[in-house]
């Protein structure tokens, strides 16, 4: 999955994805939108950082297609919400020459959709629950993120730390591949 950056260190927890799509507004809301993926699937989306409010609004108003770095945020009712943490323009050769100049860096030509989930696994019959610990920001602590990946993880034991690749299908994340990094994480 290019161009997801490599982890900062070998045992970094993370839940990071890359989706191509456009944002459409949700009436009477602020800093909320619907991300319409290139396949037509729709996801509730919010900017993941305060400094993305302006670019987030630009994406809504322009209606253009962009690449979005996202963090999955499970919502009530099983919806897959997305927190947008970075925006890339389409590669230069895919951009419409009629559009005004884009305020974002272009994505590489070989960009692909997908998710990288790194965390502590708990295998079940037909799915894997992954706990992704989140780094505190100053004095603010965050509860671990709990993600459900549909599929099987052969040989996995509860409490192990895995690096997982997933794809989205509707409101589900489907397990594609995984690598065990540590056994029996406390």
The mean per-residue pLDDT over the stretch 37-61 comes to 93
Class of domain 14-113: mainly beta
The mean per-residue pLDDT over the stretch 68-97 comes to 87
- pTM summary value: 0.90
- Rounded Cα distance, 59 and 23, in Å: 6
pLDDT on residue 94: 74
Among 49-58, 98-107, 143-152, the range scoring the smallest mean pLDDT is: 98-107
Do 63 and 57 contact (CB within 8 A), yes or no?
Answer: no
Q: For residue range 121-141, what is the model confidence (pLDDT) as tens digits?
A: 999 999 999 999 988 888 989
- Rounded Cα distance, 124 and 126, in Å: 6
Identical fold at 14-113 and 115-182?
yes
Q: Which residues contact 91 (CB under 8 A, 6 or more apart)?
A: 106, 107, 108, 109, 111
Class of domain 115-182: mainly beta
Mean pLDDT across the chain: 91
Q: Percentage of residues in the chain with pLDDT exceeding 70?
A: 94
pLDDT on residue 99: 65
What residue spans define the domains of the chain?
14-113, 115-182
């Amino acid at each position: 999955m290019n161009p997801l950056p490599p982890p900062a260190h070998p045992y970094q927890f993370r839940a990071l994805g890359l989706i191509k799509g456009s944002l459409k507004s949700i009436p009477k809301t602020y800093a909320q939108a619907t991300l319409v993926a290139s396949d037509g699937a729709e996801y509730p989306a919010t900017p993941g950082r305060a400094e993305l409010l302006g670019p987030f609004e630009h994406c809504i108003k322009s209606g253009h297609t962009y690449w979005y770095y996202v963090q999955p945020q499970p919502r009530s009712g099983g919806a897959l919400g997305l927190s947008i943490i970075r925006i890339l323009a389409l590669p230069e050769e895919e951009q419409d020459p009629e559009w005004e100049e884009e305020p974002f860096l272009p994505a590489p030509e070989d960009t692909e959709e997908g998710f990288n989930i790194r965390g502590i696994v708990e295998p079940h019959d037909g799915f894997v629950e992954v706990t992704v610990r989140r780094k505190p920001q100053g004095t603010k602590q965050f509860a671990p993120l709990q993600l459900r990946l549909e599929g099987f993880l052969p040989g996995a034991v509860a409490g192990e730390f895995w690096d997982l690749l997933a794809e989205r299908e509707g409101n589900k994340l489907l397990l594609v591949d995984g690598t065990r990094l540590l056994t029996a994480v406390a």
